Amino acid sequence: MNQSGSISGFPCEQQMPYRQLLDEGQVELLQRNSNVVNYNKKDIIFRQNTRTSHIMLMVSGMVKIFKEGRNERTVLLRLATPGEYIGMMSVMGDQIHQYSATAIENADICFIDINAYRNVLMENGKFSLQLTNLISQDGLFIFNRLMSQTHKQLPGRIADVLLYFAEQIYKQPHFDFPLTRRELAELAGTTKESFIRTLTEFKNDKIIYLDGSRVEIISMDIVKTLSELG
Protein backbone atom coordinates (compact mmCIF):
# COMPACT_ATOMS: atom_id res chain seq x y z
CA MET A 1 0.00 0.00 0.00
CA ASN A 2 1.57 3.25 -1.09
CA GLN A 3 0.34 5.43 1.67
CA SER A 4 2.03 6.61 4.78
CA GLY A 5 -1.40 6.31 6.29
CA SER A 6 -1.02 6.80 10.01
CA ILE A 7 -4.44 6.82 11.63
CA SER A 8 -5.20 9.39 14.28
CA GLY A 9 -8.26 10.03 16.38
CA PHE A 10 -8.39 13.61 15.19
CA PRO A 11 -11.93 14.77 14.52
CA CYS A 12 -12.89 16.06 11.08
CA GLU A 13 -15.94 17.81 12.34
CA GLN A 14 -14.75 21.36 11.72
CA GLN A 15 -14.22 20.75 8.00
CA MET A 16 -17.56 19.12 7.29
CA PRO A 17 -19.79 21.16 5.00
CA TYR A 18 -23.18 21.98 6.53
CA ARG A 19 -22.16 20.51 9.86
CA GLN A 20 -24.59 22.97 11.45
CA LEU A 21 -27.50 21.07 9.94
CA LEU A 22 -26.59 17.95 11.91
CA ASP A 23 -27.90 17.27 15.38
CA GLU A 24 -25.73 16.00 18.24
CA GLY A 25 -26.53 12.36 17.67
CA GLN A 26 -25.69 12.59 13.98
CA VAL A 27 -22.38 14.31 14.62
CA GLU A 28 -21.59 11.69 17.18
CA LEU A 29 -22.46 8.85 14.81
CA LEU A 30 -20.19 10.24 12.10
CA GLN A 31 -17.49 10.88 14.65
CA ARG A 32 -17.54 7.28 15.84
CA ASN A 33 -17.36 6.04 12.27
CA SER A 34 -14.60 8.21 10.92
CA ASN A 35 -10.88 8.69 11.22
CA VAL A 36 -8.23 10.93 9.76
CA VAL A 37 -5.47 9.50 7.59
CA ASN A 38 -2.24 11.37 6.87
CA TYR A 39 -0.68 11.24 3.44
CA ASN A 40 2.70 12.42 2.29
CA LYS A 41 3.33 14.26 -0.92
CA LYS A 42 3.01 11.89 -3.90
CA ASP A 43 1.06 9.26 -1.96
CA ILE A 44 -1.79 7.66 -3.85
CA ILE A 45 -5.13 8.09 -2.11
CA PHE A 46 -7.21 5.98 -4.46
CA ARG A 47 -6.91 4.61 -7.96
CA GLN A 48 -9.55 4.68 -10.61
CA ASN A 49 -11.50 1.47 -11.21
CA THR A 50 -11.19 0.43 -7.57
CA ARG A 51 -14.26 0.09 -5.40
CA THR A 52 -15.17 3.03 -3.24
CA SER A 53 -14.87 2.32 0.46
CA HIS A 54 -15.45 5.53 2.37
CA ILE A 55 -16.66 9.06 2.10
CA MET A 56 -13.49 11.16 1.96
CA LEU A 57 -13.29 14.72 3.19
CA MET A 58 -10.18 16.90 2.85
CA VAL A 59 -8.97 18.19 6.20
CA SER A 60 -5.65 19.73 5.18
CA GLY A 61 -3.26 19.79 2.26
CA MET A 62 -3.92 19.50 -1.43
CA VAL A 63 -4.82 16.59 -3.66
CA LYS A 64 -5.04 16.22 -7.41
CA ILE A 65 -7.93 14.33 -8.99
CA PHE A 66 -7.14 12.88 -12.36
CA LYS A 67 -8.21 10.35 -14.94
CA GLU A 68 -5.66 7.98 -16.36
CA GLY A 69 -6.04 7.11 -20.03
CA ARG A 70 -4.79 3.92 -21.67
CA ASN A 71 -2.09 5.50 -23.79
CA GLU A 72 -0.32 7.28 -20.98
CA ARG A 73 -2.55 10.30 -21.42
CA THR A 74 -3.74 11.52 -18.08
CA VAL A 75 -6.19 14.33 -17.54
CA LEU A 76 -6.05 16.42 -14.43
CA LEU A 77 -9.60 17.28 -13.46
CA ARG A 78 -9.22 19.43 -10.42
CA LEU A 79 -7.37 20.05 -7.19
CA ALA A 80 -9.12 19.46 -3.89
CA THR A 81 -8.56 21.62 -0.84
CA PRO A 82 -9.74 21.41 2.81
CA GLY A 83 -13.49 21.22 3.25
CA GLU A 84 -14.03 19.43 -0.06
CA TYR A 85 -15.19 15.88 -0.52
CA ILE A 86 -13.20 13.76 -2.94
CA GLY A 87 -14.62 10.90 -4.94
CA MET A 88 -18.12 11.71 -3.77
CA MET A 89 -19.68 11.42 -7.19
CA SER A 90 -18.26 7.93 -7.60
CA VAL A 91 -19.29 6.86 -4.10
CA MET A 92 -22.86 7.98 -4.74
CA GLY A 93 -22.85 6.99 -8.40
CA ASP A 94 -21.67 3.50 -9.22
CA GLN A 95 -19.40 2.65 -6.29
CA ILE A 96 -16.37 2.42 -8.57
CA HIS A 97 -13.88 5.25 -8.56
CA GLN A 98 -13.94 6.91 -11.95
CA TYR A 99 -10.67 8.69 -11.36
CA SER A 100 -7.57 8.61 -9.21
CA ALA A 101 -6.30 10.90 -6.49
CA THR A 102 -2.82 11.58 -5.16
CA ALA A 103 -1.51 14.07 -2.64
CA ILE A 104 0.50 16.90 -4.14
CA GLU A 105 1.51 18.04 -0.68
CA ASN A 106 1.15 16.44 2.75
CA ALA A 107 -2.53 16.00 3.37
CA ASP A 108 -4.94 14.86 6.06
CA ILE A 109 -8.10 13.22 4.87
CA CYS A 110 -11.08 12.21 6.92
CA PHE A 111 -12.50 8.79 6.07
CA ILE A 112 -16.14 8.31 6.98
CA ASP A 113 -17.97 5.01 6.88
CA ILE A 114 -20.38 5.03 3.95
CA ASN A 115 -23.25 3.40 5.81
CA ALA A 116 -23.07 5.77 8.74
CA TYR A 117 -23.04 8.66 6.30
CA ARG A 118 -25.96 7.29 4.32
CA ASN A 119 -27.93 6.82 7.49
CA VAL A 120 -27.43 10.44 8.35
CA LEU A 121 -28.49 11.43 4.84
CA MET A 122 -31.65 9.38 5.14
CA GLU A 123 -32.73 10.81 8.43
CA ASN A 124 -31.67 14.40 7.74
CA GLY A 125 -33.38 15.75 4.65
CA LYS A 126 -31.87 19.22 4.82
CA PHE A 127 -28.35 17.87 5.04
CA SER A 128 -29.11 15.47 2.24
CA LEU A 129 -30.45 18.23 0.04
CA GLN A 130 -27.29 20.24 0.59
CA LEU A 131 -25.20 17.27 -0.41
CA THR A 132 -27.20 16.95 -3.61
CA ASN A 133 -26.36 20.57 -4.12
CA LEU A 134 -22.65 20.05 -3.57
CA ILE A 135 -22.51 17.08 -5.91
CA SER A 136 -24.36 19.03 -8.57
CA GLN A 137 -22.00 21.96 -8.28
CA ASP A 138 -19.04 19.64 -8.43
CA GLY A 139 -20.48 18.06 -11.55
CA LEU A 140 -21.06 21.42 -13.19
CA PHE A 141 -17.57 22.52 -12.34
CA ILE A 142 -15.75 19.51 -13.75
CA PHE A 143 -18.06 19.74 -16.70
CA ASN A 144 -16.98 23.32 -17.37
CA ARG A 145 -13.34 22.43 -16.99
CA LEU A 146 -13.66 19.65 -19.53
CA MET A 147 -15.55 21.97 -21.86
CA SER A 148 -12.58 24.28 -21.63
CA GLN A 149 -10.21 21.48 -22.49
CA THR A 150 -12.33 20.25 -25.38
CA HIS A 151 -13.49 23.36 -27.06
CA LYS A 152 -11.03 26.12 -26.51
CA GLN A 153 -7.70 26.46 -28.13
CA LEU A 154 -4.42 26.70 -26.34
CA PRO A 155 -4.27 30.32 -25.21
CA GLY A 156 -7.80 30.01 -23.84
CA ARG A 157 -6.99 26.82 -22.01
CA ILE A 158 -3.81 28.22 -20.49
CA ALA A 159 -5.75 31.31 -19.44
CA ASP A 160 -8.28 29.02 -17.78
CA VAL A 161 -5.54 27.33 -15.79
CA LEU A 162 -4.24 30.69 -14.62
CA LEU A 163 -7.73 31.77 -13.64
CA TYR A 164 -8.31 28.49 -11.87
CA PHE A 165 -5.39 29.13 -9.55
CA ALA A 166 -5.99 32.83 -9.17
CA GLU A 167 -9.73 32.62 -8.54
CA GLN A 168 -10.52 29.19 -7.18
CA ILE A 169 -7.43 27.97 -5.41
CA TYR A 170 -5.44 30.93 -4.12
CA LYS A 171 -7.93 33.75 -4.55
CA GLN A 172 -5.20 36.20 -5.47
CA PRO A 173 -3.45 37.11 -8.74
CA HIS A 174 0.02 35.99 -7.62
CA PHE A 175 0.89 32.51 -6.51
CA ASP A 176 3.28 29.61 -6.92
CA PHE A 177 2.23 26.73 -9.14
CA PRO A 178 1.92 23.69 -6.89
CA LEU A 179 2.36 21.44 -9.92
CA THR A 180 5.04 20.62 -12.46
CA ARG A 181 4.78 21.83 -16.03
CA ARG A 182 3.71 18.36 -17.06
CA GLU A 183 0.86 18.35 -14.55
CA LEU A 184 -0.16 21.86 -15.51
CA ALA A 185 -0.29 20.69 -19.10
CA GLU A 186 -2.56 17.84 -18.04
CA LEU A 187 -4.78 20.37 -16.33
CA ALA A 188 -4.93 22.40 -19.54
CA GLY A 189 -5.46 19.34 -21.71
CA THR A 190 -2.27 19.74 -23.69
CA THR A 191 1.37 18.65 -23.70
CA LYS A 192 4.20 19.90 -21.52
CA GLU A 193 5.94 21.53 -24.49
CA SER A 194 2.88 23.36 -25.73
CA PHE A 195 2.04 24.52 -22.25
CA ILE A 196 5.53 25.92 -21.71
CA ARG A 197 5.54 27.63 -25.07
CA THR A 198 2.21 29.34 -24.55
CA LEU A 199 3.08 30.37 -21.02
CA THR A 200 6.33 31.85 -22.31
CA GLU A 201 4.36 33.82 -24.88
CA PHE A 202 2.16 35.19 -22.10
CA LYS A 203 5.32 36.20 -20.31
CA ASN A 204 6.84 37.85 -23.38
CA ASP A 205 3.59 39.68 -24.02
CA LYS A 206 3.76 40.98 -20.44
CA ILE A 207 0.43 39.40 -19.57
CA ILE A 208 2.05 37.59 -16.68
CA TYR A 209 5.25 37.73 -14.68
CA LEU A 210 6.84 34.32 -14.55
CA ASP A 211 9.85 32.93 -12.75
CA GLY A 212 9.96 29.20 -12.26
CA SER A 213 6.81 28.28 -10.43
CA ARG A 214 6.19 31.87 -9.37
CA VAL A 215 3.40 33.57 -11.32
CA GLU A 216 1.87 36.99 -11.15
CA ILE A 217 -0.97 37.90 -13.40
CA ILE A 218 -0.17 41.39 -14.64
CA SER A 219 -3.20 41.91 -16.84
CA MET A 220 -6.16 40.06 -15.45
CA ASP A 221 -8.31 41.65 -18.16
CA ILE A 222 -6.35 40.08 -20.97
CA VAL A 223 -6.31 36.69 -19.26
CA LYS A 224 -10.07 36.83 -18.87
CA THR A 225 -10.53 37.91 -22.45
CA LEU A 226 -8.35 35.06 -23.67
CA SER A 227 -10.42 32.67 -21.59
CA GLU A 228 -13.64 34.00 -23.03
CA LEU A 229 -12.52 34.12 -26.62
CA GLY A 230 -11.46 30.50 -26.29
* Residue 68, strand partner residues: 74
Per-residue contact flags (x/-) with DNA for residues 144 to 163, judged by CB under 7 A: ---------xxx--------
Q: Which is nearer to its own copies, 135 or 222 (CB)?
A: 135
The entry of DNA, its own copies, none near residue 200 (CB within 5 to 8 angstroms by kind) is DNA
Q: Which is nearer to its own copies, 89 or 103 (CB)?
A: 89
Answer yes or no whether residue 75 interacts with DNA by CB under 7 A.
no
The entry of its own copies, DNA, none near residue 44 (CB within 5 to 8 angstroms by kind) is none
Q: Which is nearer to its own copies, 42 or 51 (CB)?
A: 51
Q: How far is the CB of 62 from DNA (least distance, A)?
A: 16
Answer yes or no whether residue 40 interacts with DNA by CB under 7 A.
no
Q: Alpha carbon of 16 to those of 22, 83, 182: distances in Å?
A: 10, 6, 32
Q: Which is nearer to its own copies, 49 or 213 (CB)?
A: 49
Residue pair 67/98 in contact (Cβ under 8 Å)? The answer is yes
Answer yes or no whether residue 87 interacts with DNA by CB under 7 A.
no
Q: How far is the CB of 168 from its own copies (least distance, A)?
A: 15
How many CB atoms neighbour CB 101 within 10 A?
25
Q: Alpha carbon of 33 to those of 25, 63, 209: distances in Å?
A: 12, 23, 47
The entry of DNA, its own copies, none near residue 147 (CB within 5 to 8 angstroms by kind) is its own copies
**Strand bridging mode 74-80 / 208-211:** unpaired
Q: What single-letter DSSP state applies at residue 11? A: -
Q: Which is nearer to DNA, 92 or 226 (CB)?
A: 226
Long-range contacts at 161-170 (CB < 8 A, ≥ 24 apart):
161/187, 161/188, 162/202, 162/208, 162/215, 162/217, 162/223, 163/223, 163/224, 163/227, 165/215, 166/217, 166/220, 166/223, 169/79, 169/81
Interface with DNA by CB under 7 A: which residues?
153-155, 180-182, 189-194, 196-197, 199-200, 210, 212-213
